[in-house]
Amino acid sequence: MKQSQTAEDKYQAATDTESPIPLRVLVVDDSALQRRIVALSLKRWGFSIQEATSGLEALEICKSDQIDLVISDWVMPEMDGLEFCKEFRKLKRERYGYFILVTSKNDKNDVAQGLDAGADDFLSKPVNKEELKARIRAGTRVLEMEQELHSQNGVVKNALKELQGLYDEINRDLVEAEKLQHSLIPVRHEKLENAEISLLFQSSGHVGGDLVGFFRFSRNRIGIFSLDVSGHGISSALLTVRLAGYLSPHNKTQNIAFEPMPEGGYSHRSPKDIAKLLNERMMDEMDTEHYFTLAFADVDLETGHVIMVQAGHPHPVIFNPETGVRFMGEGGVPIGLLPEVEYDNFEFDLKAGDRLLLHSDGVTECQNIKGDLFDEDGLESMLVKKLDGSGPEFMDDLMWQLTEFSEGEPFGDDVSAILLEFDGKTEG
């Protein structure tokens, strides 16, 4: 009969209570007999068992060993099971510990008190083997789920760490890209014959799609431009870099504003032909969904005569303390949207004291918290107030006005501008 019972126990252990994780169980009771009854069943089921005669002794064991499951009597001297449970929950542990209180108490208030102290389950005295087995199975399921979650959290944590490393690497690359893009606009202010030029560039992220700049056709003739590539981010910035090469101030063979002559040297393309050629390059050579807007002005610094093209870009502005503010141009078609587009020039003359401002739509489409736009009315109002401001001071004022209008919120688009101040005086 004894052998038959042992075989049954082994069978039950293998089929009902065996766990894929090696549970370490601590049995706590000041009664040696009660400890033995519980511990003997647990050992037959294959668990690793430790015993303690009091809550204090059990707490010291738990401080040094990662116990998976505690079965503790409630009523004990020195430190009872309830107090021990509270202290057990305060311990720093790598894994969750399942806590079963053994008690003859069955009052609902007592159960609530035990749960509030951190107990997971209860066993009634005297301990029944089948009930013990059921409580152990319940605890095992909880611990198995906790172990699986811990494992999954580890995978997620490692994945997040790897992603953070990739993000840091991308961020470093973006910072370098930002430096390179700013190098395309090397100066904020430059004094030329009869004029001064100031530039502003503020991307909404690390890199942007705006570009402003100028180059010399000759000693007294310059080209100034403002362009804005559609979209945001790296792909827009890469196209901007390529376009910067097409309008390079350092390389006439690359700058499409210069047309090589058969007999040598270069002639100057008209602004409308520059826009047309850029459109052809975009449609024929660049496999991209991006397009860009452009305002390009060919300025004679001796006479103040300006020949200009507008391709979907915000209207250029002429302003003067004496004559006020004028918006120029009729719009035009953005570059890279449609093939075989013809662009038109428009011409005007700058007088002494006139200032010509080319800017991206990041200025007029700057939004405040309510969704209102700064628009052309806001720009005109700002220009009227700042007509006496000049150069970098004017650009700083423009940025201040936009920041104040947006109420400190980040700009939703890049902000760029180029300002030409014409004094109309020939240098001696």
Q: Which of 154-158, 293-297, 424-428 has the highest mean pLDDT?
A: 293-297
pLDDT value for 252: 87
Sort strands 415-422 and 195-202 into parallel, antiparallel or unpaired. Answer: antiparallel
Map residue 37 onto helix, strand or coil. helix
> pTM of the predicted model, to two decimals?
0.62
Kindly report which listed range (122-126, 147-151, 180-184) carries the lowest average pLDDT score: 180-184
**Short-list 314, 357, 401, 106, CA closest to 114:** 106
Name the average pLDDT for the chain: 85
Distance, CA of 426 to CA of 26 (rounded, Å): 98
pLDDT value for 250: 83
Q: What share of the chain is helix, strand, coil (3-state, %, to 5)?
A: 40, 25, 35
The DSSP code sequence of 209-255 is SEEEEEEEEETTEEEEEEEEESS-SHHHHHHHHHHHHHT-SS-TTT-
Inform me whether the pLDDT recorded for 339 exceeds 60. Answer: yes
Q: What is the mean pLDDT of residues 59-65?
A: 92
Sort strands 210-218 and 266-268 into parallel, antiparallel or unpaired. Answer: unpaired
Instruction: Assess contact for 52 and 27: CB atoms under 8 A.
Output: yes
Distances 248 to 63, 184, 189, 226 between C-alpha atoms, Å: 71, 9, 18, 13
Which domains does the chain carry?
Answer: 2-152 (3.40.50.2300), 184-422 (3.60.40.10)
In the structure encoding, which two tokens stand for residue 240, read together? Answer: 């901007």
First to last CA, the chain: 125
pLDDT value for 303: 94
User: 375-385 and 391-405 helices cross at what angle (nearest 10)?
Assistant: 130
In the structure encoding, which two tokens stand for residue 212, read together? Answer: 């402003």
In the structure encoding, which two tokens stand for residue 225, read together? Answer: 């431009």
* Sheet with 305-311, side-by-side order of all strands: 210-218, 221-229, 292-300, 305-311, 345-349
Report the DSSP beta bridge partners of residue 191: 196
Inform me whether the pLDDT recorded for 104 exceeds 70. Answer: yes
Inform me whether the pLDDT recorded for 355 exceeds 80. Answer: yes
Number of H helices and E strands in the chain, helices first, is 11, 18
pLDDT tens digits, one per residue of 166-215? 767 666 655 665 556 556 566 688 999 899 999 998 877 656 678 899 99
In the structure encoding, which two tokens stand for residue 174, read together? Answer: 């973006």
Percent of the chain, pLDDT > 70?
87
